[in-house]
Chains A and B, each alone.
Chain A
Amino acid sequence: MERAASSVILSVLVLACAPADPSGYEPGEERSGGDTTVFDTSRAAYSISARNLTFDERSRFLVGNNFFGDNWVVAPSSTSARDGLGPLHNALSCGSCHLFDGRGEPPGEGEEMVSMLVRLSVPGQDEHGGPLGEPTYGGQLQPRAIPGVPPEAATHLAWEEIPGTYEDGEAYSLRRPILTIDTLAYGPMQDDVMTSARVAPPVYGLGLLEAVPDATLLALADPNDADGDGISGRVNHVWDATRGETAIGRFGWKATQPTIRQQTAGAFLGDLGITTSLFPSQECSESETECRAATAGGEPECEDDILDFVVFYGQTLAVPARREADDPEVLRGKRLFRDAGCASCHVPRLETGEHEISALADQIIYPYTDMLLHDVGDELADHRPDFEADGREWRTPPLWGIGLLQTVNRHQLLLHDGRARGFAEAILWHGGEAEASREAFRAMSRDEREAVLRFLESL
C-alpha cells in the first residue's frame, strides 16, 4: 500500500528526476553512496575509502584505518601512541568487533562474546537525560581486562526456538536469545539492572548519514502519527558532549550518538578502555580497585590527532554499489518491499547537505533508513530506555550494502543482537509499527517473498 502522505514528504527530498523507467528502476540507484560509491563485491567491499576523496584525504583515511585496525596494547610500552588498553575492555581494536568494517555477530555455542557487548543501566537518568549506569559495573559489561585486573564478568547466550508459519503454510522457526551473566568479579549487580546485548553495527557510509540535514530527519519524523499510517518515527534527543548541549541522535542501535566523533570516542572508552579528550576518565567504579590503580597510557591515551584520523576513517568508508539493480526480479522485490510499507521507515533515498568533508556533501544516497526511532514491538524490545528512546524503540538501521554481508562477514545474522538468521527472519521479527509490513510479508506467496529477498540481496 503506497501512502500519499509519505510520498509528499519524500517528494520534498528528491531531486526533480522522477523515475522515468516504468519498471521502477531509478537511474543511478545502484550508486548507494552517491559519488562515494565503490564498485566491489569482494570481502573488502565495506573497507574501501570514498571514491571521491582527494589524495591527501586518502592518506588520512589510511592512517585512520591503521589505528582502527591495529591492536592497542597494555601501557607502558615502547609504542606509546598505541598503548593504554583497558584496564577493562571488550576488545583490543575497533576492527576486532567491526570485522572488515562490517557487522558483528553473537557468539557460537560455548564461545565468548567478541563482536557483541552488553549495555547496562538502572532506572533513572543521568544529568543529561541519558541512562544511569549500573553502580558497580557501569554502562557496559567488560568481559576482558589487562593482566592483574579481574574482568567484570562472563556473558553467555543461549537460544530458544519459536516456530511459526507463513500464510501459505510453510513453516519457519525464529530464535530468541537468552542472556546469562555470571562470574561477576565485583559483587552482585543491582536487582533492577536492565541489560541489552548488541552486536557491533557496520561502519561504512556513516559520514553520509552524518551529512543528512537535521531538517530532513525532522521532516521524516511523525511522532504523533499525524498522517495516520501507523508509523510514528521520532528523533532521539541526546547529549552532545563536544558542544555541551542536546542534539539529534543518529548513530547507534537507539540513535544515541549525535556525531561520529562522539560515537568513536565513546567506543574508544567503553570498548577498548582508551581515553580521549572527549572522555578523559576511565570508568572504574569504587569497587573496581585494580582498575583504578592501573597504569594509563597517557592523558589522554588516544591523542586528538589520532582520534581525528579514526573519526575521518569512520566518516569516509565508502558504500558498495548495488548489484543487479535493474534486474526484473529485483525490481519486483523492490515494489513488494515498498507496497508492504517497509520503505516508510527504510527510506530508500535521501540527500545529504553540508559537511566539513566535501566528498560527503550534496549527495543523493540510497541508505534505506530514516534514522528515526520506531516501536517495533514487544518481541524485539530490550526494555531498556536510552535518552528518549523507550524500551521498545530502535533506530531504523540502514540496509545499504546488506546484500554483501555474507561475502564480507561470512554470516547473515541480523538485528541488534544477531538473532535473525537471514533477511526473512529479520522481517518476521518486526512488530509494533512494523507489524502490518511483517504480516504483508507473511501473507506473500513464496515466489513473492523470494523476490523481496532478491531485492535485499541486491542492496
Chain B
Amino acid sequence: MVFPTQGHLFRALPIALALSACGGESAPPVTAEESLEVTETYARILHAAYSDAVTGAQALDGAIDAMLASPSESTLTAARTAWTASRPAYLETEVARFYDGPIDDPETGPEGLVNAWPLDEAYIDYVVDASGTPVEGGLIYDDAELPTIDEASIAERNQVGSEENVSTGYHAVEFLLWGQDRSTTGPGARAHTDYVEGGEATGVARRRAYLAATSSLLVTHLEEVRDAWSESAGNYRADMIAAADEDPREPLRRILVGMGSLSGAELAGERMNVAYMTKEQEDEHSCFSDTTLQDQLHDAIGIRNVYLGRYTRTDGSVVEGESLSDLVASRDADLDARMREQLDASVTAIEAIPGPFDQAILGTDDAAGRVAIAAAVDALRAQTRTIAEIAALLGVTINLEE
C-alpha cells in the first residue's frame, strides 16, 4: 500500500466506497442537512488545528532563530522544547489524512515534506558510524549537490516522486536539533557547538542555513494546508461542503476513511505494531527526541476530536459543533455509546504505555511495556471495527485494515 510521491506517512489504505445497496441496515439515509452540519464542524476543527500547528511551527522557527543568533545549551534546549510543544496540534490533524485531502493530495499535498519518516540522516548531515566515528556527509557537506541552501532548494531535493531521500519536515528539524539517537536511555545529544561558527565543528555555516530553511519551509507548508480548510471560496473546504449537497454520504466517507485509516492500519499497525513485532530500536517516528508516545497519544485524541465534534485549541479555547456522534446517536444510541467508550479507552491505553516507546517495545511479551503496547493496539483495532460499523450504518462501506 503505497502512495507514490511521499514517504512513510503517505500511504494508501485499503478503503473502498461501496455504497451498500443491501447492507441490511434500516437506518434512514443521511440528509444533506445532517451531512453539512457534521462537515462544517469537521472543517472548523481542522482549520483550528492546522492554525495551531502553524502557530507552533512559527514559535519553533522563532526559537530556532534565537538559537542561531546565540547558540548555547540553553537556547538549544529552548528550541527543542518549542519543537516538542509544536507537535500535538499537528498530530491532531492527522485524522484528516488518507483520503487525498489537502495534506496528502497526490499532486499537491505536502505531507511527505512535512512529516515523512524514516529520515535519511546521512543524506542531510554527518552521522556516527558503528565505531563511533563521525562521518561527514550529506547535503550539508555537499556544495556541489546543493550549492545554495534555502527553502526552495531543499524542497526541490526532497522526495520528488519518491526517488529522493527525506530531508525536510518535522523530523529533519528534530534531527538537526537533537542529532542521532544512539542512546538506549535517552534522546539524541547534539552539542550546541554544531551551530557555533569558528569553533570545533565542521559544516557549521551550511548546517545553520539548512536548519533555518527547513524550519521556514515547515511553516510555509502548514500555512498552505491551513488555508485549504479556511472559510473561503474555491478551496478544499468549499469543495467538501459542496460534495455534501451532491451526495450527503461523500464527506462522511472522507471523514470516516481518515478516522479508520489512522486508527487501524496507520496507528495500531504501522506506528505501533510494527515496532512491537520487530523490536527494532529507534523504529519510531520521533526517535531523535524520544517523543513518539506523544505522537501516538495525539493521533488518538485527534480521532476522538472528530467523532465528538470538539477540539481543544493550544490556548485552551474550544471549537465545537454538531458532531458525527450526534448523527450516529440519532440512529443507534448503543453504537454511539460504544464508539465513545472505545475512543476514550484507546487514549487511556496509550497514556498507560511506559516511555520511551523504543524501550517499551523490548523484552518478553509479559514485560510491562509490551503488555501496555499490545493493549493499546487492541483498543485501537477494536475502535477501528466500530468505525467500520458506523460507516455501514450511514450507508458507506469501507474496507479497513485493522
CB distance B121 to A99 under 8 Å?
no
Within 8 A of B (CB), among A277-305: 295, 305
What is the CA–CA distance of A99 and B12 in the complex, to the nearest angstrom? 10
A275 interface hit (Cβ, 8 Å): no
B99-155 contacts to A (CB < 8 Å): 117-123, 127-130, 135, 137-139, 142, 145
**Do A66 and B269 have beta carbons less than 8 Å apart?**
yes
Report Cα–Cα, A14/B62, bound state, in Å: 70
Smallest CB gap from B265: residue in A: A62
State the CA gap A55–B2 with chains docked (Å). 22
Contact B2 A78 (CB under 8 A): no
CA separation between A83 and B127, bound complex, in Å? 12
Complex interface: chain A residues within 8 A of B13 (CB):
44, 47
Most chain B CB within a 10 A radius of its CB, from A40, A91, A144: A40
Cβ-defined contact, A63 with B1, below 8 A: no
Expressed in whole angstroms, the Cα–Cα distance for A382 and B352 within the complex equals 59
Q: Which of A63, A75, A99 contacts B277 (CB 8 A)?
A: A63
Q: Does B399 contact A (CB under 8 A)?
A: yes
* Residue pair B138, A76 in contact (C-beta under 8 Å): no
B44 in the interface, Cβ–Cβ < 8 Å? no
Instruction: Bits for B161-178, please: 1 = Cβ < 8 Å to A, else 0.
Output: 111111000000000000
Name the distance in Å between B101's Cβ and chain A's nearest Cβ: 14
Report B-chain residues with C-beta under 8 Å of the C-beta of A426: none
CB within 8 Å of B: which A33-73 residues: 38-45, 47-49, 55, 58-63, 65-71, 73
In whole Å, how far is A150's beta carbon from the nearest beta carbon of chain B? 12
Q: For residue A143, which residue of chain B has the nearest CB?
A: B163
Output the nearest chain A residue to B100 by Cβ-Cβ distance. A43
B280 interface residue per 8 A CB criterion = yes
Contact pattern, B 275-298, Cβ under 8 Å of A = 1, otherwise 0: 001101111000110000000000
Determine if B329 is an interface residue (Cβ-Cβ < 8 Å): no
A395, B11: Cα distance in complex, Å = 31
Question: Restricting to A428-451, which residues have a CB under 8 Å from any CB of B?
Answer: none
How many angstroms between the C-alpha atoms of A30 and B196 in the bound complex?
66
Return the chain A residue nearest B116 by Cβ: A71
Whether A39 and B165, one on each chain, are in contact in the complex, defined by CB atoms closer than 8 angstroms, is no
Residue A185 is within 8 A (CB to CB) of chain B in the complex = no
Would you call A82 an interface residue if the criterion is a C-beta within 8 Å of the partner chain's C-beta atoms?
A: yes
Query: Which residues of A sit under 8 angstroms from B16, Cβ to Cβ?
Result: 38-42, 44-45
- What chain A residues lie within 8 Å of B299 (beta carbons)? none
Chain B: which residue is nearest A40 at the CB level?
B16
**Given A91-B163, A96-B162, A147-B138: A82 and B283 interface contact (C-beta under 8 Å):** yes
Residue B322 is within 8 A (CB to CB) of chain A in the complex: no
CA A63 – CA B121 in complex, angstroms? 23
> Is the pair A92, B162 in contact by a Cβ cutoff of 8 Å?
yes
Contact of B121 with A73 in the complex, beta carbons under 8 Å: yes
Closest to A89 in B: B163
Q: Report B1-36 residues with CB < 8 Å from chain A CB.
A: 1-4, 7-8, 11-18
Give the CA-CA distance A71 to B270 in the complex, in Å: 13
Other-chain contact of A49, B119, B138, B401 (Cβ < 8 Å): B401
Instruction: State the CA gap A81–B188 with chains docked (Å).
Output: 18
**Set of chain B residues within 8 Å of A70, measured between Cβ atoms:** 7-8, 117-118
Q: Which residues of A contact B14 (CB under 8 A)?
A: 38, 40, 44, 47-49
**Cβ 8 A contact of A147, one of B119, B123, B282:** B123
Known: A68-B2, A101-B1. Is A93-B120 also a contact (CB below 8 A)?
Answer: no
- CA–CA, A96 to B4, complex, Å? 6
Q: Which residue on chain B has the smallest CB distance to residue A48?
A: B14
Please determine whether A95 and B2 come into contact, CB atoms closer than 8 angstroms: yes
Does B194 reach chain A (CB closer than 8 Å)?
no
B12 to A71, Cβ gap below 8 A? no
CA distance A128 to B17 in the complex (A): 49
Residues from chain A with a CB closer than 8 A to the CB of B122 are 73-77, 83, 146-147
Q: Return chain A residues, CB-CB under 8 Å to B325.
A: none
Q: Considering the chains assembled together, what is the distance between the CA atoms of A77 and B188 in angstroms?
A: 12
Q: Report Cα–Cα, A253/B333, bound state, in Å.
A: 55
Q: Does A337 contact B (CB under 8 A)?
A: no
Nearest-CB residue, chain A, relative to B358:
A78
State the Cβ distance, B299 to closest chain A Cβ, in Å. 16
In the assembled complex, the Cα of A410 lies from the Cα of B17 at a distance in Å of 18
When C-beta atoms are compared, the residue in chain B nearest to A62 turns out to be: B269
The answer to whether the Cβ of A136 comes within 8 Å of any Cβ in the partner chain is no
A148: Cβ under 8 A from any B Cβ: yes
B275 CB to closest chain A CB (Å) equals 9
A101 vs B14: C-alpha distance when bound (angstroms): 11
The reply to whether B137 and A148 form a contact with Cβ atoms under 8 Å apart is: yes
Please state if B180 and A78 are interface contacts (CB–CB under 8 Å): yes
Closest to B141 in A: A147
Q: Is the C-beta of A229 less than 8 angstroms from some C-beta in chain B? A: no
> Which residues of A lie under 8 Å from residue B181 when comparing CB positions?
78
Chain B residues near A309: list those with CB within 8 A: 277-278
Complexed CA–CA distance, A224 and B401 (Å): 47
A114 at interface, CB cutoff 8 A: yes
Contact between A93 and B162, CB atoms less than 8 A apart = yes
A47 to B136, CA, bound (A): 39
Nearest A residue to B182 by beta-carbon distance? A78
Task: Determine whether the beta carbon of B277 is less than 8 Å from that of A78.
Answer: no
- The answer to the question of B336 belonging to the interface, with a C-beta cut-off of 8 Å to chain A, is no
Query: Does chain A have a CB within 8 A of B94?
Result: no
B4 & A38 in contact (Cβ 8 Å cutoff): no
Q: How does the 8 Å CB contact mask read for A139-156 relative to B, with 1 for contact and 0 for none?
A: 000001011100000000
Q: How far is the CB of A356 from chain B (nearest CB, A)?
A: 19
Q: Does B346 contact A (CB under 8 A)?
A: no
Q: Looking at the complex, which one of B145, B277, B281 makes contact with A59 (CB distance below 8 Å)? A: B277
| B→A interface (CB under 8 Å) | 1-4, 7-8, 11-18, 117-123, 127-130, 135, 137-139, 142, 145, 161-166, 180-182, 188, 265, 269-270, 273-274, 277-278, 280-283, 287-288, 399, 401-402
> Can you list 11 A-B contacts with CB-CB less than 8 angstroms, sorted by A residue number?
A41-B18, A49-B401, A73-B120, A76-B129, A79-B287, A81-B280, A95-B2, A100-B3, A147-B122, A147-B137, A147-B138
Residues of A in contact with B (beta carbons under 8 Å apart): 38-45, 47-49, 55, 58-63, 65-71, 73-83, 85, 91-96, 98-101, 112, 114, 144, 146-148, 295, 305-306, 309
Q: A77-B180, A95-B2, A309-B277 are in contact. List 6 more A-B contacts (CB 8 A).
A: A65-B269, A70-B117, A73-B122, A76-B127, A77-B120, A80-B280
The 6 closest A-B pairs by CB, nearest first: A95-B2, A81-B280, A48-B14, A40-B16, A47-B1, A74-B122
